[in-house]
Chain A
Amino acid sequence: MNKNKKDLLQSTSARKGKAGEVCMNRRRFLSKTGTYAVAASAVVLGGGLFAPDSYAAKKIGEKANTTLLKMARDIYPHDTLEDKYYTQVLTPMIQAAASDDKKLSELADGAKSLDQIASQLFGVSYIDIKSEKDRVSVLKQIESSPFFQNIKGALMMGIYNNPDLWPRFGYGGSAWEKGGYINRGYNDIDWI
């Protein structure tokens, strides 16, 4: 058995209880389909989404690997956020795809269709389109596909429901254990 794959699978199942449950309900809420787990913290590998020689990268293809990262950054563009916050959302999706042909083809075909549309409209592949506006026009064409919506849904959870990022958005998260805000600035404002 591929050693790399074993490690990846273990890390996925360890997260399943917590993140998987939340994600399931979030999808219920947003009426999505699919079974991708969203990780609040994930193994981040160097390079693209994965080291080029990793099992997962080989499965999905190196090209798709970079296309998906670009797409993720275009869906919720926060220029000051490091790539790792996007890759840690995509990583478990691709890991899950490694053992599920349906998910694998959704991702691989999705990435391919992006390139096809990009090529028709702009004569280059998706990642080579220079302007964000033009890339968005490509994404708009596949906006309602499960491929796009599953990635968007996972990103929403992975970016905005990520406690590691809350301080950067100025959101406080859980407060009861700190005594709430009654003595921590609930009425502080200096510009009114």
Chain B
Amino acid sequence: MSTKFDLNDDSLVVIIGSGAGGGTLANELAQKGIRSVVLEAGKRFKMDDIENDEWKMFGKISWLDKRYVVGPARIAKDFPNLPAWIVKGVGGATMHWAGVAMRFQEHEFKMKTTNGTVPGANVLDWPVTLKEMEPYYEKAEKKMGVCGTKATGMPFHGESSHYKVVKEGANRIGAKCEQATLAINTETRDGRPSCQVNGFCMQGCRIGAKWSTMYTEIPKAEATGKTEVRPQSMVLRIEHDKTGKVTGVLYADKDGNQHLQKARVVAVAGNSIESPRMLLNSASSMFPDGLANSSGQVGQNYMTHTTGGVYAEFEKPVHMYKSTVVPGIVHEWKNNDPGRGHVAGYELEILHLGLPFMSAFLNPGKGGWGRELADSLANYDKMAGFWICGEDMAVESNNITLHPTEKDQYGLPVPVVYKADHINDTRMRNHAYDRSKELFDAVGALKVNNLPPYPASHNMGTNRMSEHARDGVVNRWGQAHDIDNLFVSDGSQFTSSGTENPTLTIVALAIRQADYIADQMKKKAI
């Protein structure tokens, strides 16, 4: 029996989005007895909908609403309508994520203090430290079931053939390589099975061994009777009263009918393109530049991680697909050592693609054809490779704006994403390409292919946290500087990207934010 709340119930928390941020927040609040409505733009999928098929799942679950990518980066040419590779469905990008769960390093919360002003970048310290985050990281690791951590005591997955090749290369060049701490069960835990290594983590885990809010936080929240999830509910705007407090959320259901859900508190968690877009779309005579935008930072500082791919071909088979998607990580260059020619660090995340996606990403775009490409694809079973994941400098002009004339199927202005490399990003990527080649050459690679960045699954920074209201959109709790009962609960609140995959930090922040919201509601401060 699922709970239904009245549209006029103004005592609710309305959460927009059901992924790592929104899904976790809903469950954390529900466990404290706080009632919420979760508005999710996408459908609710069933486990049976999940298939081990790259293109089929891409077509089924991806966010494919119209978007533009502009700017000088190659991605604008190769994928002009697909800046981000994320999910439209209950569970959000936690369906697609590979499960990599790493904590930020201490210096990554204070990049400005660490490196001073970086010319051409808009770098800022977080108003939160690692020390403050540690207990929440611990809770997040327990909740999600992260293997290889003290929090769970679950062992690592074991060394796949793909891992062994990279590990050997790393050993030979003296680089540190470890199995990945994944939020994928290696034991039966929390009602979910142990991983059987299907190798399709990013298509949705068919057996539910990987943590996704789709089948953990969301059903747990619903089971309390305190949470109602409304799938296929696209938010059009967030309403406010004349005092500037938010009062409700206008959304369109699957048939296009509009509803206004009243709210005591609104939490925005629609990922780093949709979240700022919602705030911008909610502009009013009182807030002509959009909600919570007195700083002008809503939609700015868009970060994706500095990425790229490197795939080496060997003489003998590797069968990289017979592995968790990310079996291990080369951590050697994750520290902040300006001596390398760039600030901040990167990880080389061992990662496989299936043959179908390899054919699309090895040399994406119009020129990706011909004998060299075909010969490499013929060596698919002899490949091993990385996805480079490094810190991306916050740059104010990397941003999300609204198209001046073009509207999407909901009548909302189409988002336009501008992304250009900062010089630090370019240097870091080149450093990573070079070290990767060295590593693969050391273990006998016949050929090493460098791949340009793919559409981004890590999207961050467009409603960033800041100590001072002038520098960012939200405070240390993800609460809007300008509007006390408006929160941001996803990766858009990140002040810096770190080198680590964002999900664990999003979940830790959501757990922490739930404590704060509960406290503030109790005190009647919101």
**A130 located at the interface, meaning its Cβ lies under 8 Å from any Cβ of chain B in the complex:** no
Q: Once the chains bind, are A187 and B159 in contact (CB under 8 Å)?
A: yes
A5 nearest CB across to chain B (Å):
30
Q: Once the chains bind, are A176 and B52 in contact (CB under 8 Å)?
A: yes
Q: How far is the CA of A76 from the CA of B363 in the complex (A)?
A: 13
Residue of A22, A29, A30, A173 with most chain B CB atoms under a 10 A cut-off: A29
Residues of A within 8 A of B370 (CB): 74-75, 77, 136
Residues of B within 8 A of A185 (CB): 161, 319, 322
Chain A, 155-192, contact with B by CB distance < 8 Å: what is the 0/1 string? 01101110000100111111110011110111111111
Q: How far is the CA of A191 from the CA of B314 in the complex (A)?
A: 11
B503 nearest CB across to chain A (Å):
22
Residues of B within 8 A of A190 (CB): 316
Residues of A within 8 A of B317 (CB): 170, 189
**B62 located at the interface, meaning its Cβ lies under 8 Å from any Cβ of chain A in the complex:** yes
Interface residues of B in 195-232 (CB under 8 A from A): 195-200, 206-207
Query: With A143-B367, A169-B381 in contact, is A187–B56 under 8 Å at CB?
Result: no
Query: With A22-B59, A30-B360 in contact, is A166–B206 under 8 Å at CB?
Result: no
Contact of A160 among B164, B200, B207, B356 (CB under 8 A): B356
**A149 located at the interface, meaning its Cβ lies under 8 Å from any Cβ of chain B in the complex:** yes
Closest to A175 in B: B198
Q: Once the chains bind, are A174 and B53 in contact (CB under 8 Å)?
A: yes
Interface residues of B in 350-390 (CB under 8 A from A): 354-356, 358-360, 364, 366-371, 373-374, 377-378, 380-382
A80 nearest CB across to chain B (Å):
9
Contact of A156 among B52, B354, B359, B443 (CB under 8 A): B359
**A2 located at the interface, meaning its Cβ lies under 8 Å from any Cβ of chain B in the complex:** no
**A31 located at the interface, meaning its Cβ lies under 8 Å from any Cβ of chain B in the complex:** yes
A86 nearest CB across to chain B (Å):
12
Q: Is the interface of A mostly helix, strand, loop or mixed?
A: loop
Q: Once the chains bind, are B59 and A175 in contact (CB under 8 Å)?
A: no
Q: Once the chains bind, are B381 and A179 in contact (CB under 8 Å)?
A: no
Residues of B within 8 A of A171 (CB): 321, 354-355, 380-381
Interface residues of B toward A: which range?
35 or more
A side interface size, CB within 8 A: 47
**A26 located at the interface, meaning its Cβ lies under 8 Å from any Cβ of chain B in the complex:** yes
Closest to B159 in A: A187
Q: How far is the CA of A172 from the CA of B54 in the complex (A)?
A: 12
Q: Once the chains bind, are A22 and B159 in contact (CB under 8 Å)?
A: no
A41 nearest CB across to chain B (Å):
15
Which of B76-84, B240-248, B261-269, B291-299 has 4 or more CB atoms under 8 Å from chain A? B76-84
Contact of B165 among A143, A166, A189 (CB under 8 A): A189
Q: Once the chains bind, are A191 and B367 in contact (CB under 8 Å)?
A: no
Residues of A within 8 A of B374 (CB): 76-78
**A24 located at the interface, meaning its Cβ lies under 8 Å from any Cβ of chain B in the complex:** yes
Interface residues of B in 38-70 (CB under 8 A from A): 51-56, 58-59, 62, 64
Contact of B198 among A30, A181, A187 (CB under 8 A): A181
**B135 located at the interface, meaning its Cβ lies under 8 Å from any Cβ of chain A in the complex:** no
Q: How far is the CA of A66 from the CA of B59 in the complex (A)?
A: 33
Closest to B372 in A: A77
Interface residues of A in 56-70 (CB under 8 A from B): none
Residues of A within 8 A of B155 (CB): none
Residue of A30, A179, A181, A192 with most chain B CB atoms under a 10 A cut-off: A192
Of the A-B pairs whose beta carbons lie under 8 Å apart in the complex, a sample of 16, sorted by A's number, is A30-B360, A77-B370, A77-B374, A152-B368, A160-B356, A160-B377, A161-B359, A171-B355, A172-B199, A174-B52, A186-B161, A186-B323, A187-B159, A188-B319, A188-B322, A192-B168
20 extra interchain contacts, Cβ-Cβ under 8 A, other than A25-B64, A175-B200?
A21-B59, A22-B56, A22-B59, A24-B59, A25-B58, A26-B55, A160-B356, A161-B55, A169-B355, A171-B354, A173-B52, A173-B53, A174-B53, A175-B197, A181-B197, A182-B195, A182-B197, A185-B319, A188-B161, A191-B315
